[in-house]
């Protein structure tokens, strides 16, 4: 039988064990209540984690295994649907790890609307601007689209004034590339070009992350067809042909949303920039030509190019025909800047 003194001498061990248990329970309770909070504060948590992910990947010498960063260069311009379009992108990008959103305003200055938006959104971002040159803005009194050779530019009516703006977002994308060259030396990453009203599925960014040189995948509702993109032989993994109905003669018959480029290549070829293409609708080739001899050298992704993970959706421009019936603008009481 155990002597009563044994208990006495072990009493302090018993107290110690009690301490462990109590501390453990308190800790557990704290974590539980934190979990309840996180139900409500999930978005803040997400933002925090995203930011962490960004800063970690800025330190390439860090010991823990790193995933390459996705750098998304996206032009944007002022219009009534701009903020809702950007909000939907924000909601998508919040759940993408190691991601930097390079938003380039098509304007002579960066706007407060966009910088307030980016602060509130919480996705790690870089806010730039580059104006479309005045010579590409065509003033007109007619309601007709101007005709003539604009060297592959697209013309659209300004949403408020009566002139057409003919743009191809060359300046904005080059401004993004300038930032890439200045800030990503030695960082493992991939560069992708986005439109602010396209639809991106989260998985798309995981597919492009390990691009060796240039990767490629199908794009939904692009080039006038349901799906535009490569057709791949699943047994060899090689591209057999490109499914394009719009200008199949293009050297690189793919949409801007169809490919990503390893960021390293932009440091290796400092001259690689967008320029006005010789023929309409061949802007993609303007950048791809620096890195590829043939479109068949691209690395197919998305399960041998059988999955659609990006869609060339477009947001209809706002119909504001009733505005003139009101005495003052309908948004005069609105804290319009999204804070």
Ligand X SMILES: O=C(O)[C@H]1O[C@H](OP(=O)(O)OP(=O)(O)OC[C@H]2O[C@@H](n3ccc(=O)[nH]c3=O)[C@H](O)[C@@H]2O)[C@H](O)[C@@H](O)[C@@H]1O
299 counts as binding ligand X under rule CB under 6 A: no
In contact, 261 and 211? CB cutoff 8 Å: yes
DSSP string for 147-182: -S--TT-EEEE-SSSSEEEEE--HHHHHHHHHHHHH
In contact, 262 and 211? CB cutoff 8 Å: yes
**In the structure encoding, which two tokens stand for residue 263, read together?**
């960021």
The least CB distance from residue 42 to ligand X, in Å, is 26
Instruction: Give residue for tokens 């307030």.
Output: 116
User: 173 among the known binding-site residues?
Assistant: yes
Identify whether 323 is a catalytic site residue.
no
The least CB distance from residue 62 to a copy of itself, in Å, is 11
CA 91 – CA 155 distance, rounded (Å): 30
55 counts as binding a copy of itself under rule CB under 8 A: no
62 counts as binding a copy of itself under rule CB under 8 A: no
169 counts as binding ligand X under rule CB under 6 A: yes
The least CB distance from residue 299 to ligand X, in Å, is 21
The least CB distance from residue 227 to ligand X, in Å, is 15
Which residue of 216, 232, 256, 265 would you call a contact of ligand X, by CB under 6 A? 256
**In the structure encoding, which two tokens stand for residue 216, read together?**
């490629």
Catalytic residue among 105, 175, 282, 284: 284
Q: Which stretch binds ligand X (CB under 6 A): 24-32, 47-55, 90-98, 168-176?
A: 168-176
Q: Is residue 224 exposed (0-12), middle (13-18) or buried (19+ Cβ within 10 Å)?
A: exposed
Phi-psi bin for 224: left (phi > 0), alpha (psi -120 to 50), beta?
left
Give residues 279-308 in contact with a copy of itself (rule: CB under 8 A): 303, 305-308
Q: Is residue 269 exposed (0-12), middle (13-18) or buried (19+ Cβ within 10 Å)?
A: exposed
Which listed option, a copy of itself, ligand X, none, makes contact with residue 336 (CB within 5 to 8 Å by class)? Answer: a copy of itself
Instruction: Please report, as ranges, the residues that interact with ligand X according to CB under 6 A.
Output: 74-77, 106, 154, 165, 167-169, 172, 195-197, 256, 312, 314
Binding residue ranges: 75-77, 106, 168, 173, 195-197, 312-314
Hey, which residues are catalytic here?
A: 284
């Amino acid at each position: 039988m155990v002597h009563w003194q044994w208990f006495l001498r072990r009493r302090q061990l018993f107290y110690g064990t009690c301490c462990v248990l109590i501390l453990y329970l308190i800790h557990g309770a704290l974590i539980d209540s934190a979990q309840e909070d996180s139900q409500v504060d999930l978005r803040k948590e997400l933002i925090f984690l995203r930011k962490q992910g960004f800063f970690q990947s800025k330190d390439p010498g860090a010991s823990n295994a790193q995933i390459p960063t996705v750098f998304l260069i996206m032009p944007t311009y002022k219009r009534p649907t701009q903020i809702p379009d950007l909000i939907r992108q924000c909601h998508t990008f919040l759940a993408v790890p190691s991601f930097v959103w390079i938003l380039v305003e098509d304007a002579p200055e960066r706007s407060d609307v966009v910088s307030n938006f980016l602060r509130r959104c919480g996705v790690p971002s870089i806010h730039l601007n580059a104006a479309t040159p005045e010579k590409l803005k065509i003033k007109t009194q007619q309601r007709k689209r101007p005709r003539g050779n604009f060297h592959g530019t697209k013309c659209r009516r300004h949403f408020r004034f009566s002139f057409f703006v003919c743009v191809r977002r060359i300046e904005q994308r080059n401004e993004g590339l300038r930032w890439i060259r200045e800030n990503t030396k030695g960082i493992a990453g991939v560069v992708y070009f986005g439109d602010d009203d396209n639809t991106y599925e989260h998985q798309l960014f995981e597919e492009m992350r390990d691009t060796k040189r240039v990767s490629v995948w199908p794009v939904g509702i692009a080039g006038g067809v349901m799906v535009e993109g490569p057709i791949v032989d699943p047994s060899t993994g090689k591209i057999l042909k490109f499914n394009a109905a719009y200008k199949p003669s293009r050297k690189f018959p793919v949409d801007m949303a169809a490919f990503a480029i390893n960021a390293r290549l932009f440091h290796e070829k400092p001259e690689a920039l967008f320029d006005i293409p010789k023929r309409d609708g061949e802007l993609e080739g303007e950048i791809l030509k620096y890195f590829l001899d043939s479109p068949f050298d691209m690395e197919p992704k998305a399960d041998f190019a059988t999955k659609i993970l990006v869609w060339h959706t477009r947001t209809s421009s706002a119909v504001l025909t009733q505005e003139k019936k009101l005495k003052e603008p309908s948004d005069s009481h609105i804290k319009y800047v999204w804070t």
